[in-house]
Structure 1
Amino acid sequence: MKRRTFVKSSILTGVAASILPAMSNATEAPAPTAEYYELRIYSFKNEIQQKLTEDYWKDAAIPAMNRLGVKHIGVFTEMNPAGPTKLYVLVQYNGIAHLATIADALEKDQAYQNKGSLYLNAPATAPAYERIESSLMKAFTHMPHLEALEKRNRIFELRQYQSASEAAGKKKIEMFNDEGEIDIFKRLGFAPVFWGETVIGTLRPNLTYMITFDDMEAKAAHWKAFGSDPQWKKISSVPEYADALLVSKITSTMLVPTAYSQI
């Protein structure tokens, strides 16, 4: 086995072993499989790099990963970029075991290797990107499956809530899962795409989610309705759920999907 393939397999196997719950009895019914989401953020220094990476996802990666059972891959650009251009890629996996099979399968997929060759084999003198920032998220129990919305003109908001401690992060997740915060978003028409707890990545502990709007005016109206919602006021008034205790930083990024995005 080639060293590169062995290293990739070893890393993914280690990730799976650290996240998959142990089965105490082989005869017990398996627990429901949670979806996992990979978020990649590419940074570029010029349009040539961006086109090379976009062509890779459009022509090679998305078709190949779809063949391997990845249902939806979202590819987005920033609505109002500040600084170097970035590309956001969101990949939906059926579970951690599914994720662990992808890298080896792509190594053996000749059609993928051929169509993605310019990106995969870009020389050091002309790289396909500057850097990739990547994180792995586990779906929330109260929204265990990604919702790929019908394709039409809309904007996406990617929000990340950082917490000062693991305990605070778990408490914030509890608000979404157990206290009905996700239900408020759905009832008010935010059309959420996913909620995920970051298990591997930067700026942990954090949770990340994606919601959608028709335009910026609709965004403002929805958040105004959320802030004045009676159920939200009831939840947020509980002392143990105060944002000052649970959230140390909120980041919001407005995104627009590419023409070939599956989300």
Structure 2
Amino acid sequence: MKRRSFVKSTLLTGVTATILPAMSKATETSPKAAEYYELRVYNLKNSEQQKLVEDFLKDTAIPAFNRLGVKHVGVFTEMKPEGQTRLFVLVQFNSLAHFATVTDSFAGDAELQAKGAAYLNAPAAAPAYERIESSLLKAFVHMPHLEAPENKTRIFELRQYQSATEAAGKKKIEMFNDEGEIDVFKRLGFKPVFWGETVIGSQRPNLTYMITFDDLDAKNAHWKAFGSDPQWKKISAVPEYADALLVSKITSTMLMPTTYSQI
């Protein structure tokens, strides 16, 4: 069924095909060009669905992504799920053109379609997942490229800041890009993976970022240091940057990488 196709399960492919102009080689990007990320959340009913999705990602999708120039694909489970865990998948693209090329290649790859048939063609009576939530994010200017952390035991925090208006959302992004908030995170050792503005997806306007820690104790220590950091206090004390004006909701999800995650 079309809704379970890896490349057609969202409207992103159609939107991208409509808005993209003719561009140069899709996998090329200048050193300062902002990347794009697809953030997928698989809602699952049981462990059978989880295994089916994970087998497809590990054995079929990720190798295909890598062959097409995608450097990193992150796959994560929830640290404290309510029932069956959701799967979070982060895919790094060099550009919008790269995104379009990769999705088109997936659709036309007969070998991939055959190898992933159990997932792609799962019957209605036993679907591979319940639904997929998908967002397309554009990397922040001050951190235009994903930075994969060291490959060791670690946990991740995925944070989303929703704003009441587009203007407020842009102002919050300004804090990170222009006022040095990202630099505070890096200096304090949060090891950020990415910052992105959601350009297509739900709950807009919002920004999303991912940071990583050795464990929960390290997480608590880092956030305590952040709250007392002089530079952060200076930035947040500016009246126009008050959270009450710029942020209407903050969502934090603690994640653990799968054994085959590339992030």
TM-score (norm 1): 0.90
The one-letter amino acid of 1:52's match is L
Deviation of 1:31 (Å) = 10
Q: Is the 8 A contact 2:38 2:90 kept in 1?
A: yes
The one-letter amino acid of 1:42's match is Y
Give the SS at the match of 1:51: helix
Deviation of 1:16 (Å) = 2.8
Corresponding residue for 1:13?
17
Q: Is the 8 A contact 2:36 2:137 kept in 1?
A: yes
Aligned-residue CA RMSD (Å): 2.1
Larger deviation, residues 196-205 vs 101-110: 101-110
Corresponding residue for 1:91?
91
Q: Is the 8 A contact 2:40 2:135 kept in 1?
A: yes
Give distance in 2, aligned partners of 1:180 and 1:220: 22
Deviation of 1:106 (Å) = 1.2
Corresponding residue for 1:54?
54
Give distance in 2, aligned partners of 1:106 and 1:179: 40
Deviation of 1:9 (Å) = 5.9
Change (3 A) 1:94 1:128: same
Give distance in 2, aligned partners of 1:9 and 1:148: 26
Q: Is the 8 A contact 1:8 1:103 kept in 2?
A: no
Give the SS at the match of 2:20: helix
Corresponding residue for 1:174?
174
Change (3 A) 1:32 1:213: closer
Give distance in 1, aligned partners of 2:55 and 2:127: 14
Corresponding residue for 2:33?
33
Q: Aligned ranges for residues 109-148 of structure 1 at < 5 Å?
A: 109-148=109-148
Deviation of 1:8 (Å) = 8.0
Q: Deviations over 1:12-62 (max 9, x none)?
A: 212435xx99xxxxxxxx995320000000011110000000000000000
Q: Deviations over 1:171-225 (max 9, x none)?
A: 0000000000000000000000000000000000000000000000000000000
Residue identity (%): 72
Q: Aligned ranges for residues 1-263 of structure 1 at < 5 Å?
A: 10-16=14-20, 32-263=32-263
The one-letter amino acid of 1:16's match is L
Give distance in 2, aligned partners of 1:173 and 1:106: 33
Give the SS at the match of 2:59: helix
For structure 2, list consecutive stretches of 5 or more residues without a partner in the other structure.
24-29
TM-score (norm 2): 0.90
Q: Is the 8 A contact 1:44 1:131 kept in 2?
A: yes
Give distance in 2, aligned partners of 1:149 and 1:235: 27
How many pairs align? 250
